[in-house]
Amino acid sequence: MTSLLVRPHAPDEQGKVLEVTPESAGWDYVGFRVHRLAKGQQIEGNTGEREHCLVLLSGRATVTSGDNRWEDIGERMDIFEKVAPYAVYLPNGVSFSVEAVSDMELAVCSAPGRGHHEPRLITPGEVKCSTRGSGTNTRQIQDILPETEPADSLLVVEVYTPAGNWSSYPPHKHDVDNLPEESILEETYYHRLNPSQGFAFQRVYTDDRTLDETMAVEDGCCVMVPRGYHPVGAPHGYELYYLNVMAGPKRKWKFQNDPAHEWIVKQ
């Protein structure tokens, strides 16, 4: 296993199966974890100094924070139904609870917060869906928390890549503070495969190849992208989903393609 690949483990008492923290990743901004909860199971927490985006990957839940209570939300019972999810945005400094109304999978995305925003429900109707690329570079984008929506640091998006297609392609990076051309953003990729016994490939590399890792990712794995280009390929027969969490010193997503491969989008 490489240092950038995080594999899931058996659920703990909170249903947690995977976690990336700034400390474990060796970076400053992105936190990410996944809980798989049985019907009736409840978890509680406090956002501390970090804003959170709770993404209902599948199943239904009741989410409570202070005077806010969102009852029995969620309509996507399987990630590969490809409908937009429900999510809840929480600022730093608030307590919250999540009760599973059905068996469910929950992603908890976090980054530094400044308390500038109120808790809110993000409904499927508020999630912008689009298609990006063409041919074997086509994929479906669902923007849960884009930079056009209120937050302090977090950017959250999910992507469906058809079997045999490439994604995050041509290879691009966002690791230089050079706005408006490029921004610095750490990133995690949470991968799911359909059928679940499948695999996909992700490479993370820099121009000088001081970082150059290619990983076989399986269902439930997470890849950390501290810097560099990070393309993904889905083999024939296996559809790929991934949830991206990004954050950095400025909440802007500006990237640069690998010059060696930019010709692909200039044809």
Q: Is the previous residue joined to 85 through a cis bond, with omega within 30 degrees of 0?
A: no
Spatial separation of the C-alpha atoms in residues 210 and 153, rounded to whole Å: 28
In this structure, the number of other CB atoms found within 10 A of the CB of residue 139 comes to: 21
Spatial separation of the C-alpha atoms in residues 188 and 22, rounded to whole Å: 11
Cα distances from 30 to residues 27, 117, 178, 237, in angstroms, run 8, 18, 20, 32
Closest CA to 90 of 30, 143, 37, 45: 45
Q: Where are the domains of the chain?
A: 5-265
The predicted-structure confidence for 77-111, as pLDDT tens digits, reads as follows 999 999 999 999 999 999 999 999 999 999 999 99
CB neighbour burial string for 28-42, b if at least 16 within 10 angstroms, e if fewer? ebbbbbbbbbeeebe
Q: Could you tell me which CATH number the domain at 5-265 has?
A: 2.60.120.10
The predicted-structure confidence for 175-213, as pLDDT tens digits, reads as follows 999 999 999 999 999 999 999 999 999 999 999 999 999
DSSP annotation of 262: G
Instruction: Specify the pTM.
Output: 0.96
